Structure 1
Amino acid sequence: MRVETKLFVYLCIFFIPVVLIYGFWSKWQEPIGVTALILTGALFALSGFYFWMTGRKLPLRPEDNIKGEIDEQEGNYGYFVASSWTPLWLAGSGAVMFLGLAVGWWLFIIGAAFGIVAVCLWVFESFSGEYSI
């Protein structure tokens, strides 16, 4: 967790001068931007603190070990179907849904119907057909 801790702490430190620069640039007349930047820095500090506390309780991960080898991290990443057209249909229905937000709700509903069918096909394609488990 060292990498994550450093990343979030560095981003928190980065936002301290950003708040000051933004505040001086806007002459402290625009409170929403200053508040948003302060809360963003606080969120990075909170996340960094969480990763630091969690990293103290857990053993070193292979990616935290400087002398670690690639084969220490290998393992099963899940089961994936060899070739599937279903994500293409799901992406197409998502595109129709987003187009429906601009054109009209009737198109969004048509895209959502195709999206529901595509999600069901994608979920159950491992249980039937050529690539069934």
Structure 2
Amino acid sequence: MSHHDDHGVPEQTKPMRVEAWLFSAGVAFFVPVGIIYGFASKWEPVGVVGFFLLGGMFALAGGYMWLTARRIDPRPEDNPTADIEDRAGEVGVFSPHSWWPLVLGIAATLAFTGVAVGWWMTGLGIALGLVGLVGQLFEFSRGQHAH
């Protein structure tokens, strides 16, 4: 059911309403499930904490969506009668190719493997991660794609 104003034109919904409700539903699901799981498992700590942390993560994301929705103008995807071409235009600036995400992935692999193998490997992963992070951040400051 769509709402119309006095002139018969469909009314736009508030921005990011769907996203905010979606993440808020995660809180409404995981917190009660965590309580039910707690009673059913006699408060087994790992599962209960996991469910409550999931609820907290959804609360952070949902809260961010609600706050952002109050500050931005309606987007074309918030208008139920919008056309696809209403969203046309520049989306952002993206690197055509970059090796830095691979470096960051290897660094994360080393850091997390170090927990099982040895802390020295975690140190190597953190050091490589810092190099990869600096490389990714300054990728557009030098070289072919500098601007």
Q: Normalized against structure 2, the TM-score is what?
A: 0.58
Q: Aligned partners of 1:85 and 1:43: how far apart in 2?
A: 30
- Show CA shifts across 1:82-118 (max 9, x none): 1111111111111001101111111110111111111
Shift >6 Å, 4+ stretches: 40-45, 47-54
Match in the other structure for 2:19 = 4
Mapping for residues 24-39 of structure 1, pairs under 5 Å: none
Where does structure 1 lack aligned partners over 5 or more consecutive residues?
A: none
Q: TM-score, normalised by structure 1?
A: 0.62
Task: Name structure 2 gaps, 5 residues minimum.
Answer: 1-15
Larger % of helix: which? 1
> How far is the alpha carbon of 1:48 from its aligned partner?
7.1
Counterpart of 2:85? 71
Which residue of the partner structure matches residue 105 of structure 1? 119
Alignment of 1:15-94 (within 5 A): 60-94=74-108
- The alignment yields a C-alpha RMSD, in angstroms, of 4.0
